[in-house]
């Protein structure tokens, strides 16, 4: 990662936007009763914790702390110190070995000195958010009207995390109660003559999206992804398994995305970006191990489809400003796909605006994203899906109150932002306590869990991990270079 760091994150405490001072409502903490877990914050129809940003006075800062011990956006105030060059050197300290008092014990204090290089500038930030799946909207709908309001405000409003991005599936995903697509009948219908949205769109996803947009403090940009086209377009004619798009339906599949944008436009929801199908490796090399909606693409065929069908279709439509994000798969698959697409047809790279990245199995160092940015400097990198509990080695899909999972989120976001990623979209905005519903039983964790029978929801540590970025890095922020030096001071304490 070199010396580049997320300078904008360190500056935010002294450069937040003034939005007025409101007395925040504290977390209503609940001990989950499991050793090694942190608390969760409980919300219902009558109460939910809030957080607002405060403008610091010149020369001062406001810090917001969440901790394993139970702090949640706890505010503290201080004065910004200017460190001289002489003070940057490690000072002389007492040697505790010289003491004759056996009761004396060394305490090490660490002071961090940051050097900010404002002329070394990198990517602009688009934002942060989560995904409106069928499962998320089903759980949200289980709550009373008042609790639903608290839920949406918690994520999108001025007193919440101020999310400004959403990802939505085009049709069904595994986080649906059943597998479905659009225009399933008539079969082999190149013209998509029966393309209509589903009940899940009209009564679940669209209402949740529109409620979010209504309270958001900025434009909520929507990214849409297809998990699987209608099965009649696929070589295996199944929703899962090894199946790719039949070449004779390449144009129909491109039109499938245009039709989706048209239908959402009728509902007054604009699509900011589409991806070139969710996790193309699943229906290709990963087919034996994936039990949910998928469509496979080889890099070569993906390049051919984007260059000859999807790219021209989008650019020649009234949705020609919609971004096209390629791959939408794990970090380690990006070079494999992008180089393969480029070799098949360089026009495929010309049509795309960037690449979409997923969180899982990131065994490859994050510097790979900087290498991609260097090769394609006019493209953006957007993280479009992340969750915990979905890997084969996870002992539990849902770990209520897990601080470790919050820490993993923070580490991943920092790595991504320090390697040119412009935004980070979490997976389901909420799930039930088992990590569903999910028709394929592919249960995972979420920042918010909904207990519909009790008309309450709980905010997990992952929720606050997300908020330490989304709340304090508004759209248009820019990463700058910084370096860090830790100064160690030792002092003696008597007991």
Please determine, for residue 374, whether its predicted confidence score (pLDDT) is greater than 80.
yes
Look at residue 77 and tell me if it is in a domain.
Answer: no
**pTM score > 0.85 for this model?**
yes
Asked about 279 being catalytic, the answer comes back as yes
Q: d(Cα 307, Cα 471) in Å, to the nearest integer? A: 38
Matching residue, tokens 């949200």 = 140
3-state secondary structure of 249: helix
Q: d(Cα 453, Cα 180) in Å, to the nearest integer? A: 28
Return the pLDDT at 182. Answer: 98
Q: How far from the centroid of its chain's Cα atoms is residue 452's Cα?
A: 25
CA dihedral for 246, 248, 251, 256, sign (positive or negative) = negative
Question: What are φ and ψ of residue 33, in 5° steps?
Answer: 75, 20
Look at residue 494 and tell me if it is in a domain.
Answer: no
Look at residue 275 and tell me if it is in a domain.
Answer: yes
CATH of the domain at 370: 3.20.20.80
Look at residue 63 and tell me if it is in a domain.
Answer: no
Q: d(Cα 382, Cα 415) in Å, to the nearest integer? A: 13
Catalytic residue among 162, 200, 279, 388: 279
Look at residue 341 and tell me if it is in a domain.
Answer: yes
Question: How large is the average pLDDT for residues 96-108?
Answer: 42
Look at residue 66 and tell me if it is in a domain.
Answer: no
Contact between 75 and 464 under an 8 Å Cβ cutoff? The reply is no
User: How do beta strands 456-459 and 448-451 pair?
Assistant: antiparallel
End-to-end CA distance of the chain: 43
Look at residue 98 and tell me if it is in a domain.
Answer: no
Contact between 316 and 290 under an 8 Å Cβ cutoff? The reply is no
Look at residue 232 and tell me if it is in a domain.
Answer: yes
145: CB partners within 8 A, 6+ apart: 45
Catalytic residue among 162, 344, 385, 456: 385
| Total domains, the chain | 1
Q: d(Cα 163, Cα 212) in Å, to the nearest integer? A: 9
Asked about 97 being catalytic, the answer comes back as no
103 confidence band (pLDDT: 50, 70, 90): very low
Q: Of 251, 225, 231, which Cα lies nearest the Cα of 243?
A: 231
Return the pLDDT at 494. Answer: 38
Can you read off the two tokens belonging to residue 432? Answer: 């039930």
pLDDT tens, residue by residue, 173-213: 999 999 999 999 999 999 999 999 999 999 999 999 999 99
Return the pLDDT at 109. Answer: 53
Can you read off the two tokens belonging to residue 426? Answer: 């979490």
Round the CA-based radius of gyration of the chain to a whole number and report it: 24
Q: Give the domain extent around 225.
A: 122-481
Where is average pLDDT lowest: 5-14, 15-24, 249-258, 390-399? 5-14
């Amino acid at each position: 990662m070199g010396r580049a760091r997320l300078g904008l994150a360190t500056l935010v405490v002294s450069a937040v936007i003034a939005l007025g001072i409101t007395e925040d409502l504290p977390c209503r903490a609940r001990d989950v009763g499991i050793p090694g877990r942190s608390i969760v914050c409980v919300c219902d129809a009558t109460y939910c914790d809030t957080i607002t940003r405060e403008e610091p006075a010149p020369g001062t800062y406001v810090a917001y702390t969440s901790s394993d011990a139970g702090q949640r956006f706890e505010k503290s105030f201080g004065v910004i110190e200017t460190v001289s060059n002489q003070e940057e050197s490690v000072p002389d300290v007492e040697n505790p070995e010289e003491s004759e008092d056996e009761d004396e014990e060394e305490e090490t204090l660490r002071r961090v000195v940051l050097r900010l290089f404002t002329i070394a500038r990198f990517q602009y930030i688009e934002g942060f958010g989560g995904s409106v799946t069928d499962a998320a909207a089903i759980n949200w709908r289980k709550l009373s009207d008042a609790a639903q309001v608290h839920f949406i405000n918690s994520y999108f409003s001025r007193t919440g995390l101020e999310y400004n991005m959403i990802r939505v599936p085009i049709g069904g995903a595994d986080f649906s109660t059943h597998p479905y697509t659009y225009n399933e009948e008539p079969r082999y219908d190149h013209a998509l003559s029966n393309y209509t949205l589903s009940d899940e769109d009209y009564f679940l996803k669209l209402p949740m999206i529109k409620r979010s947009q209504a309270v958001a403090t900025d434009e909520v940009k929507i990214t849409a992804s297809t998990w699987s086209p209608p099965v009649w377009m696929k070589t295996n004619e199944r929703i899962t398994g090894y199946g790719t798009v039949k070449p004779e339906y390449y144009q129909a599949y491109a039109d499938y995305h245009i039709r989706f944008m048209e239908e959402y436009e009728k509902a007054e929801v604009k699509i900011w970006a589409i991806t070139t199908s969710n996790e193309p490796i699943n229906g290709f090399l990963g087919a034996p191990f994936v039990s949910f909606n998928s469509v496979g693409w080889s890099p070569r065929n993906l390049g051919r489809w984007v260059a000859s069908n999807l790219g021209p279709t989008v650019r020649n439509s009234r949705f020609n400003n919609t971004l096209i994000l390629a791959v939408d798969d794990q970090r380690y698959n990006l070079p494999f796909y992008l180089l393969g697409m480029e070799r098949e047809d360089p026009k495929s790279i010309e049509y795309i605006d960037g690449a979409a990245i997923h969180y899982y199995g990131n065994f490859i160092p994050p510097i790979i994203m900087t290498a991609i940015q260097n090769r394609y400097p006019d493209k953006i990198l957007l993280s479009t899906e992340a969750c915990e509990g979905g890997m084969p080695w996870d002992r539990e899909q849902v770990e209520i109150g897990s601080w470790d999972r919050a820490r993993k989120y923070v580490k991943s976001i920092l790595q991504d932002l320090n390697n040119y990623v412009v935004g980070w979209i979490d997976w389901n905005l909420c799930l039930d306590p088992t990590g569903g519903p999910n028709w394929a039983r592919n249960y995972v964790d979420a920042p918010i869990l909904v207990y519909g029978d009790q008309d309450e929801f709980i905010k997990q540590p992952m929720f606050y991990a997300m908020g330490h970025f989304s709340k304090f890095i508004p759209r248009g922020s820019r990463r700058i270079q910084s370096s860090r030096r830790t100064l160690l001071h030792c002092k003696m304490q008597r007991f």
